[in-house]
Structure 1
Amino acid sequence: MSSFKGNALRGTFFLFFGLWWSVKYPLKYLSQKLNADSQASRWIQKLDVLEGAAKAFFALAGMLAEQFVPSSPHASVYSGESHSWEKLANWQYMTMYLFYGLSGIVDVLSHSPLKLSLGLDRLLLSVAMCIEGFLFCFHDYNNAAVDQHLHSLLLIAIFGGALCTLMEVFLRDHTILEFFRTSFFILQGSWFWQIGFVLSPPWGGPGWDQTDRGNLMILTICFFWHYAAALVITTANSIFSRWYKKACQANLGNMDVELDCGFCIRKTSKSSDPVLLSVDGVDEK
């Protein structure tokens, strides 16, 4: 769907996971810094499984929306009457959702008894992002300069995130790579919403003038404003988690720290308990 609703659906998909990661990763490293017990590790694994299931579910919903809303091709790729291809843009978006759905399935299987290779989940996510990028590279923009420029800027976020994710295959749990992958996902989500407002305003009427060169300049500026906002959101969550960790260490000592994500973290003490001895050094009988 090239309508506002279609872009809003895609934007919501990326924003959801980007914002979730901006909270999830700082909490995960907070648990590690506080010497979390095995119960916290199990909760993190459960969250990873739920994340993969949610990714597969949202991808399936996107595929169905691209195929079976009233203006969609309804699983028909070629029209025998007009002897032409049927709404290939919908098929492109469906293909994008398909590979993100496969990425979600691999996320779930990575924590199953199948014991998939470590890093396969990141590899499938990187593949999904690369395929998304190539689909937009070869998208038909009908010589619409603004439309093409909008999606060309989007390629920066797509391939930037794909590169970070591919590096995570070899550098697992790398905080910097996870930080930038998160920011690129938030950028994709907000920019898809921007595309919807520019090309198909929800209040009706035509989109921005495709022949005005000034629109290309202001949209380029807006794109980096979007990225600045994504960096601020990701950084703010990281700073808050670091501050919260220091506050816990300073004020709570060996007490249990209960996090909002539903699990409890126990800070272990490295020193053993003191041993009480009698005054004479021997026990009296």
Structure 2
Amino acid sequence: MGTFAGHALPGSFFLLFGIWSAIFQLRKYYRRKRFELGFTSVPVEVYRNQMTTPCPCPGSSCCSTRKLPLDSIIKATCCAIGIIGEVYTGFNGGKFVYIGNAQHATMFSMFLLSGVFEILNFYRILRLPPASDYFATFLAITTEGILFVFHLHGRTPADIYVHTILIYAVLLTIAVGTYEAVNLRSHIAGLLRSILIILQGTWFWHVGAILYPPVSWLPVWDELAVESIPRAANVFCQHVLLVFACVLLTATVMGYGLRNPPARLKGDQPDSCISSDQQRLLDSDEISDDEETELLEMRTWKPLK
């Protein structure tokens, strides 16, 4: 990653999946809210966080579940390409001599493994407990953090601190993700995890611009100056502000149409046509997708008498 492109590539990786995850979670949350507020009588699954964000794939012979884990497939593919690139460029004179390339290839390998794990878990080839897909992903993020900690020896102070900030973001992502895996109904935890992943992506790009300016008009930082340290922290906080504002704006736009729910205006409520035991199953994390769909189809909206 000793170039601007070397920082922009993983930055784009985190940006893509962070934005993808945030939009998916907001869309899933507001679709459920539309049903709960009476905007539609079509049953919608109860909101539950998930690491894989599948795309609808109706009428396709390759998708028996009518969904495709496209993000996991792209993750595995991109990481495979990254591994090939790091290994290929790590050789000099017929010998693998660049330890940095080996570290990057290791990081890509962990995310490749998490992508494959998500695909196997999505198609239930692996019969694992709920939230198992979080395990592989956050194991990969933990590996990323460990590699960064031992990736900074002999660097300039500014270089060390801009990467140290990234390590803090990684640790916070792990903490939030652990809480999310335990509380799959927490929409805030899932959204915060997406924000932190987006933040890693934007900061990767900015670190590349700080250390290896790609164009002449970008300011050149004095990497030995003490002032560069608080300056880097200030810029990172501006990233936090910008990313949060963008996600907040997206949530506002997506939820704008739910201001005047017909259920509240007309006195509608969901028909209580399922038993209390079925409702507890519906609210639990142990229910399968097929069972959840069957129970949801039993729920319709009807006006109060």
TM-score range, shorter chain: 0.7 to 0.9
Question: Which residue does the alignment assign to 1:101?
Answer: 112
Q: Distance in 2 between matches of 1:139 and 1:4?
A: 17
Question: Which residue does the alignment assign to 2:86?
Answer: 66
Residue 16 of structure 1: how far off its partner (Å) = 0.6
Is the counterpart of residue 57 in structure 1 residue 77 in structure 2?
Answer: yes
Among candidates 138, 144, 155, match of residue 150 of structure 2: 138
Is the counterpart of residue 271 in structure 1 residue 302 in structure 2?
Answer: yes
Q: Structure 2: give runs of 5+ residues left out of the alignment.
A: 36-41, 48-53, 57-64, 269-296
The structure with more radius of gyration: 1
Residue 237 of structure 1: how far off its partner (Å) = 1.9
Residue 248 of structure 1: how far off its partner (Å) = 7.3
Among candidates 159, 181, 200, match of residue 147 of structure 1: 159
Q: Distance in 2 between matches of 1:50 and 1:271?
A: 37
**Contact preservation (8 Å) 2:32, 2:44:** no
Q: Distance in 2 between matches of 1:16 and 1:248?
A: 33
* TM-score, length basis structure 2: 0.73
Question: Residues 109-154 of structure 1: CA distance to partner in whole angstroms, max 9, x if unpaired?
Answer: 2221323321111111111111111110111442411110110011
Q: Distance in 1 between matches of 2:167 and 2:128?
A: 30
* TM-score, length basis structure 1: 0.77
Question: Residues 151-188 of structure 1: CA distance to partner in whole angstroms, max 9, x if unpaired?
Answer: 00111211111111122221114211112111111110
Cα distance 1:37–1:269, how it changes in 2: closer, same or farther (>3 A)?
Answer: closer
Question: Which residue does the alignment assign to 1:158?
Answer: 170
Q: Structure 1: give runs of 5+ residues left out of the alignment.
A: 80-84, 255-265, 275-285
Residue 38 of structure 1: how far off its partner (Å) = 6.6
Q: Which amino acid aligns with 1:222?
A: V
User: What is the number of residues matched between the two proteins?
Assistant: 253
Question: Which residue does the alignment assign to 1:179?
Answer: 191
Question: Residues 230-273 of structure 1: CA distance to partner in whole angstroms, max 9, x if unpaired?
Answer: 111222222222223346758xx99xxxxxxxxxxx9x752279
Q: Which amino acid aligns with 2:174?
A: A
Question: Which residue does the alignment assign to 2:289?
Answer: none
Question: Which residue does the alignment assign to 2:237?
Answer: 224
Residue 191 of structure 1: how far off its partner (Å) = 0.5
Q: Distance in 1 between matches of 2:78 and 2:46?
A: 27
Secondary structure of 1:110 counterpart? helix
Among candidates 86, 90, 110, match of residue 97 of structure 2: 86
* More off after superposition, 231-240 vs 40-49: 40-49
Q: Which amino acid aligns with 1:111?
A: F
What root-mean-square deviation, in Å, do the aligned CA atoms of Structure 1 and Structure 2 show? 3.3
After the TM superposition, which residues 1-20 of structure 1 pair with which residues of structure 2 at under 5 Å, given as runs?
Answer: 1-20=1-20
* More off after superposition, 136-145 vs 219-228: 136-145
Matched-pair identity in %: 24
Q: Which amino acid aligns with 1:98?
A: S
Q: Distance in 2 between matches of 1:130 and 1:46?
A: 33
Cα distance 1:207–1:62, how it changes in 2: closer, same or farther (>3 A)?
Answer: farther
Question: Which residue does the alignment assign to 2:30?
Answer: 30
Q: Distance in 2 between matches of 1:52 and 1:240?
A: 27
Residue 15 of structure 1: how far off its partner (Å) = 0.5
Secondary structure of 1:271 counterpart? strand
